[in-house]
């Protein structure tokens, strides 16, 4: 590794110091005792040589990007050319004695080439602008700045030299001209470097050498030949120091933050060009026929002004474009904030806004539309199909609303249509029902919708109207879905009661108000108790024992069924283990709590069952879980849970069999052990009136179920048996096990214990 450029900075600094000192002493002593004046010409070649070495050390010490390496290489060459050129000048100075020498032509060529190389290097430095448009714009700015800068240099520096009574030699003039061009060019360039392979601050130091050249020009103009010596001893050596400092800066360069070019520079250039113009105006010797240099200044000012006008035009067009883009993006943002991204319909916020406006102007009618069982589509067919269905339905809804209504998507599968009069709303509702009578979406799905319609007079609060429509929609769902209902007062009460019930349930669960009762499952031939179904009751402090039909739906909706079901399961297992210990394995075979679909979706369900069995010591085969068909039909995840339970040894019963979408494939895919024939097929089964279609159908179903179960090796239980005739008929049909008020009503654990004890006594006596 080469010595760091720091050493060169110090050396160059010393040369500048010595040069300055020598010049001061030379002036102080009036030129005597300072040796020949040629000594003053030595500082410049030495300083430039050191500058070149500093750049060389930098190139060796630091890995530079290709563009950076090229720049520094050219600058190094420039330093050596300068050093050689000024050495020739120094040699002439020594040769010709006290007379100050003219720049020898060879020296001028060397120095001129050096300046050209440096200019080329500066031009090549990338400014970090990528697009053609930006580049063009920047060129315009740079032209303005360059022209402004050059005009000032020309008017106050070069033109007086050219017009001096004793004109300068061509070689000296060319060198100075080039140096000034370099100064103007590099200063403009450096103002636009945004960061890149050449460090901005290093570049700034290098560009400052141009100012040194300008200073030499100024000194020469002001001092004539007297100004040349300080230029050689002080100003020019400073160039070597600046280059050494630049190299050092580049070596320490870190990734400087990017910044945009100087936007004020063109305006500064206009101001700068005004100074020579004013000078020309007020000093008539520059103006007048034949004074071309004055005209040149005015011409430059005209060109600068034209370029600035052009720049303003470009900026104006750009501003217009930005304004257009901003307006477009504002419109896009507003659209995004007020529309649903999936269907493109208005969202809830926009719908409310429109409703508010509508109610401010007159009567308004809202139709709330909800897809029935949309969750099942999502669960069973996937979200992509669900999304496609929503989009297709949105389209159908817009067609149905037509000119009469504005459609919005309020949430998941909930849509709304805003119309004027109730009659218009009813027409739209009818058209929606007609549209959903046919399959929609590319997946040809048949969807049903429930809709609630509510109207309000001007001045009504929008949220009130929405609440009414919501109550009507829930009433429609209650009435069996796939229809629409107009709001009538009092309709919101069930919904409110449901909401109250949810809160009540939570409190009851915490207060331990739930009990489990047991209904015996009995052998039909001998009346022996074989097992029991566990049914939950709510011992309400005011309402007494509440039936599950009144709170299970609310518990399912609120998710409270999960902790409630967990409690029933544990309590049942505990009680069954107690019976098992008391009456032995033969006396009592199984207990059967009910499980709802929400529980099957609970990720902890299998673990809960396993823990309940382990903690109570009940063998798994003595536990039956009763599930409804609709619960079992809820997709792969549920099926996996059921197989896990089956593998654990727990038995599964299909409850209310025959009421749902019973299918043979269901019995095959689902690991059921027991089928419970629904009460609706037992009701009236004993009535024997051949030809009565209802009785015939019931018997046919009951017979088919038992035969199917036998064929598949499943046990059967007939539910809801209310008299002995039903028992007899079921026995004849092939049933052996049943459950019903006739065989035993649901009762406390103690009731069943008494019955089991009674059952054991005759057996023991026998
Ligand atoms: P389910 O599972 O079909 O239970 C049988 C229902 O029929 C019970 O009503 C029972 O009292 C009634 N029942 C039994 N024999 C007769 C009869 O001969 N005649 C008449 N009319 N009814 C009879 P319950 O206890 O009101 O339960 C209703 C439903 O609530 C149950 O139907 C079950 O689906 C659900 N359920 C009860 N307890 C729970 C529970 O702990 N968890 C869950 N998820 N659901 C439960
Ligand atoms: Mg049941
Ligand atoms: Mg049942």
Per-residue pLDDT tens over the stretch 445-461: 788 899 999 999 998 89
Q: Using most ligand atoms within 8 A of CB, pick from 552, 737, 752 the residue to mutate for ligand 1.
A: 552
- Give the residue, by CA position, lying nearest to ligand 1 atom 24: 548
Does one domain contain both 475 and 508?
A: no
Beta strands in 357-442 (DSSP E): 364-371, 406-411, 414-419
Residue 1 has what pLDDT? 47
| 658 Cβ below 6 A of ligand 1 | no
Asked if the structure places residue 112 within a domain, the reply is yes
Which residues on adjacent β-strands are paired with residue 645?
Answer: none
Query: What spacing in Å lies between the alpha carbon of 124 and ligand 3's midpoint?
Result: 89
Residue 270 has what pLDDT? 84
| 565 Cβ below 6 A of ligand 1 | yes
Does one domain contain both 80 and 205?
A: yes
Asked if the structure places residue 341 within a domain, the reply is no
- Give the residue, by CA position, lying nearest to ligand 1 atom 46: 594
Alpha-carbon distance 388 to 654, whole Å?
Answer: 34
Beta strands in 402-556 (DSSP E): 406-411, 414-419, 449-456, 484-486, 514-523, 529-540, 544-546
Whether residue 547 contacts residue 537, with contact meaning beta carbons closer than 8 Å, is answered with yes
Residue 126 has what pLDDT? 77
For the cut 90, the answer to whether the pLDDT of residue 381 exceeds it is no
Whether residue 225 contacts residue 154, with contact meaning beta carbons closer than 8 Å, is answered with no
Residue 649 has what pLDDT? 96
Q: For residue 595, give the ligand 1 atom closest to its CA.
A: 44
Asked if the structure places residue 148 within a domain, the reply is yes
Q: For residue 568, give the ligand 1 atom closest to its CA.
A: 41
Structure tokens at 610: 């396993």
| 556 Cβ below 6 A of ligand 1 | no
Mean pLDDT, residues 532-545: 92
- Per the structure, the complete domain to which residue 307 belongs is given by 7-255+262-315
Query: What spacing in Å lies between the alpha carbon of 595 and ligand 1's midpoint?
Result: 12
Does one domain contain both 273 and 391?
A: no
Domain boundary among 490, 513, 547: 490
Residue 122 has what pLDDT? 83
Domain boundary among 490, 522, 541: 490
Does one domain contain both 404 and 479?
A: yes
Asked if the structure places residue 38 within a domain, the reply is yes
What CATH number is given to the structural domain containing 376? 3.30.70.270
Asked if the structure places residue 596 within a domain, the reply is yes
| 722 Cβ below 6 A of ligand 1 | yes
| 678 Cβ below 6 A of ligand 1 | no
Between 533 and 3, the higher pLDDT residue: 533
Confidence of residue 262 (pLDDT cuts 50, 70, 90): low
Residue 763 has what pLDDT? 65
Alpha-carbon distance 251 to 238, whole Å?
Answer: 20
For the cut 90, the answer to whether the pLDDT of residue 127 exceeds it is no
| 519 Cβ below 6 A of ligand 1 | yes
Does one domain contain both 275 and 158?
A: yes
Ligand nearest to the CA of 563: 1
Does one domain contain both 469 and 512?
A: no
Does one domain contain both 154 and 289?
A: yes
Query: What spacing in Å lies between the alpha carbon of 593 and ligand 2's midpoint?
Result: 7
CA atoms lying within 13 Å on the CB side of residue 16: 20
Asked if the structure places residue 272 within a domain, the reply is yes
User: Mean of the per-residue pLDDT values for the chain?
Assistant: 86
Asked if the structure places residue 53 within a domain, the reply is yes
Does one domain contain both 298 and 425?
A: no
Asked if the structure places residue 337 within a domain, the reply is no
| 655 Cβ below 6 A of ligand 1 | yes
Q: For residue 746, give the ligand 1 atom closest to its CA.
A: 11
Alpha-carbon distance 727 to 48, whole Å?
Answer: 121
For the cut 80, the answer to whether the pLDDT of residue 386 exceeds it is yes
Lowest mean per-residue pLDDT among 120-129, 256-265, 568-577: 256-265
Query: What spacing in Å lies between the alpha carbon of 655 and ligand 1's midpoint?
Result: 10
Alpha-carbon distance 20 to 12, whole Å?
Answer: 12
Residue 765 has what pLDDT? 65
For the cut 70, the answer to whether the pLDDT of residue 98 exceeds it is no
Query: What spacing in Å lies between the alpha carbon of 680 and ligand 2's midpoint?
Result: 14
Residue 29: what are its φ and ψ, rounded to 5°? Answer: -90, 5
3-state secondary structure 133-146: HHHHHHHHHHHHHH
Mean pLDDT, residues 336-360: 94
Mean pLDDT, residues 496-520: 89
Per-residue pLDDT tens over the stretch 635-693: 778 888 999 999 999 999 999 888 766 666 777 778 889 999 999 999 988 887 766 66
Does one domain contain both 106 and 251?
A: yes
Does one domain contain both 575 and 630?
A: yes
Residue 568 has what pLDDT? 97
Does one domain contain both 743 and 610?
A: yes
- Give the residue, by CA position, lying nearest to ligand 1 atom 41: 536
Query: What spacing in Å lies between the alpha carbon of 665 and ligand 1's midpoint?
Result: 26
Does one domain contain both 431 and 523?
A: no
N- to C-terminal Cα distance for the chain?
111
Residue 201 has what pLDDT? 82
Alpha-carbon distance 728 to 176, whole Å?
Answer: 128
Q: For residue 535, give the ligand 1 atom closest to its CA.
A: 38
| 746 Cβ below 6 A of ligand 1 | yes
For the cut 80, the answer to whether the pLDDT of residue 260 exceeds it is no
- Give the residue, by CA position, lying nearest to ligand 1 atom 45: 594
Residue ranges in 29-104 assigned as alpha helix (H) = 43-61, 66-96
Domain boundary among 490, 509, 535: 490
Work out how many domains the chain is built from and give that number: 3
Whether residue 137 contacts residue 314, with contact meaning beta carbons closer than 8 Å, is answered with yes
């Amino acid at each position: 590794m080469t010595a760091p450029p720091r050493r060169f900075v110090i050396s160059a600094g010393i040369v500048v110091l010595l040069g300055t000192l020598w010049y001061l002493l030379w002036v102080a002593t009036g030129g005597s005792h300072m040796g020949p004046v040629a000594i003053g010409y030595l500082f410049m070649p030495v300083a430039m040589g050191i500058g070149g070495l500093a750049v060389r050390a930098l190139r060796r010490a630091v890995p530079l990007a290709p563009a950076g390496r090229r720049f520094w290489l050219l600058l190094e060459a420039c330093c050596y050319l300068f050093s050689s050129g000024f050495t020739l000048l120094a040699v002439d100075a020594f040769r010709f004695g006290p007379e100050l020498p003219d720049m020898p032509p060879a020296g001028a060529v060397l120095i001129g080439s050096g300046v050209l190389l440096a200019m080329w290097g500066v031009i090549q430095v990338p400014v970090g602008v990528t697009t053609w448009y930006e580049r063009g714009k920047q060129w315009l700015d740079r032209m303005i700045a360059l022209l402004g800068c050059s005009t000032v240099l020309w008017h106050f520096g070069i033109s007086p030299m050219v017009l001096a009574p004793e004109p300068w030699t061509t070689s000296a003039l060319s060198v100075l001209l080039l140096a000034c061009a370099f100064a103007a060019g590099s200063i403009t360039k450096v103002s636009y470097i945004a960061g890149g392979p050449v460090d901005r601050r290093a570049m700034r130091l290098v560009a400052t050498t141009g100012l040194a050249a300008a200073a030499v020009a100024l000194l020469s103009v002001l001092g004539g030949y007297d100004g040349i010596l300080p230029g050689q001893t002080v100003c020019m050596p400073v160039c070597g120091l600046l280059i050494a400092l630049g190299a050092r800066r580049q070596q320490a360069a870190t990734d400087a933050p990017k910044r945009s070019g100087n936007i004020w520079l063109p305006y500064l250039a206009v101001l700068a060009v005004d100074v020579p113009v004013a000078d020309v105006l007020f000093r008539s010797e520059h103006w007048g026929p034949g004074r071309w240099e004055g005209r040149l200044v005015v011409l430059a000012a005209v060109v600068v002004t034209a370029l600035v006008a052009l720049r303003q035009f470009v900026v104006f067009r750009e501003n217009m474009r930005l304004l257009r883009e901003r307006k477009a993006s504002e419109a896009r943002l507003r659209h995004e904030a007020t529309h649903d991204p999936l269907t493109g319909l208005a969202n809830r916020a926009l719908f409310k806004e429109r409703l508010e406006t509508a109610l401010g102007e007159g009567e308004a009618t809202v139709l709330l539309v909800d897809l029935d069982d949309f969750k099942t589509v999502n669960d069973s067919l996937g979200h992509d199909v669900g999304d496609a269905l929503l989009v297709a339905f949105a389209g159908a809804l817009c067609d149905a609303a037509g000119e009469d209504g504005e459609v919005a998507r309020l949430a998941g599968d909930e849509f709304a249509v805003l119309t004027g009069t109730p009659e218009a709303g009813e027409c739209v509702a009818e058209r929606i029902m007609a549209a959903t009578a046919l399959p929609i979406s590319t997946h040809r799905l048949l969807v049903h919708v429930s809709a609630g319609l509510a109207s309000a007079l001007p001045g009504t609060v929008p949220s009130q109207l929405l609440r009414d429509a919501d109550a009507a929609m829930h009433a429609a769902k209650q009435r069996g879905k796939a229809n629409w209902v107009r709001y009538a007062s009092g309709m919101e009460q069930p919904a409110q009661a449901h909401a109250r019930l949810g809160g009540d349930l939570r409190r009851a669960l915490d207060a331990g108000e739930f009990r489990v009762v047991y209904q015996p499952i009995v052998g039909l031939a001998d009346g022996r108790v074989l097992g029991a179904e566990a049914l939950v009751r709510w011992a309400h402090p005011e309402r007494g024992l509440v039936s599950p039909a009144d709170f299970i739906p609310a518990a399912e909706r609120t998710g409270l069924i999960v902790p409630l079901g967990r409690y029933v399961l544990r309590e049942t297992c505990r009680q069954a283990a107690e019976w098992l210990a008391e009456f032995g394995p033969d006396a009592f075979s199984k207990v059967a709590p009910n499980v709802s679909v929400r529980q099957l979706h609970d990720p902890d369900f299998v673990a809960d069952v396993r823990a309940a069995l382990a903690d109570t010591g009940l063998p798994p085969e003595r536990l039956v879980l009763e599930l409804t068909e609709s619960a079992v039909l809820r997709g792969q995840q549920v099926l996996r849970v059921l197989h896990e339970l089956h593998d654990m040894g727990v038995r599964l019963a299909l409850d209310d069999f025959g009421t749902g979408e019973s299918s043979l494939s269901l019995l095959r895919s689902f690991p059921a052990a027991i089928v419970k024939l629904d009460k609706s097929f037992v009701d009236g089964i004993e009535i024997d009136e051949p030809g009565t279609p209802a009785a015939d159908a019931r018997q046919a179903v009951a017979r088919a179920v038992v035969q199917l179960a036998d064929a598949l090796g499943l046990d059967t239980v007939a539910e809801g048996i209310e008299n002995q005739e039903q028992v007899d008929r079921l026995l004849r049909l092939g049933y052996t096990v049943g459950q019903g008020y006739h065989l035993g009503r649901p009762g406390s654990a103690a009731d069943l214990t008494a019955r089991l004890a009674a059952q054991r006594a005759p057996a023991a006596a026998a």
